[in-house]
Structure 1
Amino acid sequence: MSVDNRLKQLRQRSIERTANNMELYGFSSTVGRLMGVMYHHGEPMTLDDMKDELNMSKTRMSTAIRTLLDADMAEKSFHKAGRKDVFAIEQDYYLGFIKLFCSNWRRAVTNNTLSVQKTVDELEEITALKEISNETREEAEDLLRKNYEAINYYDWLDRLLEAFETNKIFDYVPLKEED
């Protein structure tokens, strides 16, 4: 096997690894492969570039890049010379991970915190009732206690996300210095 073919194989393996990692965060394999291709391309790409590189339709590439834009994983700009939109992704692994991690978890924390707070409000109403049985009151109080624990958990997750978003995480888990 020639060195060029070997390099192509290794590049493809790296792209597939990126796709697999993206699937862990709920993204489709198409979005993951696009992310890998864009990372290895190293410079902004047009939809036509993406279509040609991945052998997929322009519509599919448009949908995939929209997913990356919505997740704050890609940026769009206009290239005057070619009169086309070009798209780029974060080339720094750490910043890319932080964006991906925080994007998904921020949404979950916000939605779940609202849901838990609504549940707590309703449970507090139930426990305040005088005409319920002791058994029902105990069940409601137990559920209320568990939801208070959930509030604390989502508060902790919120603070963890803040540590990532402000890069304070690197105070606790420093980057490895290059040799």
Structure 2
Amino acid sequence: MDELAGLTDEQRTKLLNTRRRVIESIGKNMDLYGITLSIGHLYGNMYFNQEPVTLDEMSHTMGMSKTSMSTGMRTLHDLKMINKVWGKGSRKDLYEVVPDWHQNFADYFSIKWRKAVEQNMSALAKSLKELEAMTGEYDGDESFQKVLASDKSKINDALNYYRWLDRLIDSFESGAIYEFLPKEE
């Protein structure tokens, strides 16, 4: 932390305490969304860095093994919360935080929601197809047809929801969501 070099011990202590509180809060928040606390702390620590960092630097800063650090960095990179950047004269990979919290939120939920939408729509479509087949197979059974019609209606309602969610994800990915809910500057 070179930016702290010119500070007094008291200034450094006070500043690091405020940062620790924020880092802990970021970790707890990310844990709520299914990202481990340690990866949340990693992101929080990187958030306060003024320069891109290497795996070794972050491993040393956080007291984590290089293997754990590599896994954490890969997770954050896959979630588009950090970028791998080029550094003049450095042969090691450098990483920096994507500081746009709005975009981080949009990317994270887009990735998670898109996967869920695809899985659920596939299951619903398969079940709807099977219900359609049963409708023809048990044509004369009026009480069973009523149950099938009710199930088909429920599945179609669910499909309508997932199509809406798909459009919501599109709005996050395109940035159109901010036309309806502008970012606070």
Q: C-alpha offsets along residues 111-153 of structure 1, whole Å, 9 cap, x if unaligned?
A: 2111211111111111221367433332222221111011000
User: Secondary structure at 2:138's aligned position in 1?
Assistant: coil
Shift, 1:96, TM fit: 1.5
Q: C-alpha offsets along residues 85-110 of structure 1, whole Å, 9 cap, x if unaligned?
A: 11222111211211112121111112
Give yes or no for contact 1:39–1:91 (8 Å, CA) kept in 2: yes
List aligned pairs for 1:19-34, cutoff 5 A: 19-34=27-42
List aligned pairs for 1:3-152, cutoff 5 A: 3-79=11-87, 81-130=89-138, 133-152=141-160
Shift, 1:78, TM fit: 4.4
Shift, 1:77, TM fit: 3.5
Check 1:41–1:132 CA distance in 2 against 1; reply closer, same or farther (3 A cut).
farther
Instruction: Name which of structure 1's ranges 130-139 and 57-66 shifts more when overlaid on structure 2.
Output: 130-139
Could you tell me which residue of structure 1 aligns to residue 6 of structure 2? none
Alpha-carbon distance in structure 2 between the residues aligned to 1:140 and 1:36: 51
Alpha-carbon distance in structure 2 between the residues aligned to 1:49 and 1:140: 61
Alpha-carbon distance in structure 2 between the residues aligned to 1:127 and 1:107: 30
Q: C-alpha offsets along residues 32-86 of structure 1, whole Å, 9 cap, x if unaligned?
A: 1111111111432111011011111000011111111222222223445221011
Give yes or no for contact 1:42–1:91 (8 Å, CA) kept in 2: no
Task: Count matched residues.
Answer: 177
The AA in structure 1 aligned to 2:41 is R
Alpha-carbon distance in structure 1 between the residues aligned to 2:159 and 2:172: 20
The AA in structure 2 aligned to 1:67 is T
How does the TM-score come out when normalised to structure 2?
0.87
Check 1:132–1:3 CA distance in 2 against 1; reply closer, same or farther (3 A cut).
farther
Identity %: 37
Could you tell me which residue of structure 1 aligns to residue 3 of structure 2? none
Alpha-carbon distance in structure 1 between the residues aligned to 2:51 and 2:118: 34
User: Secondary structure at 2:175's aligned position in 1?
Assistant: coil
Give 4+ residue runs of structure 1 displaced > 4 Å after superposition.
none
Alpha-carbon distance in structure 1 between the residues aligned to 2:15 and 2:85: 30
Give yes or no for contact 1:72–1:103 (8 Å, CA) kept in 2: no
How does the TM-score come out when normalised to structure 1?
0.90
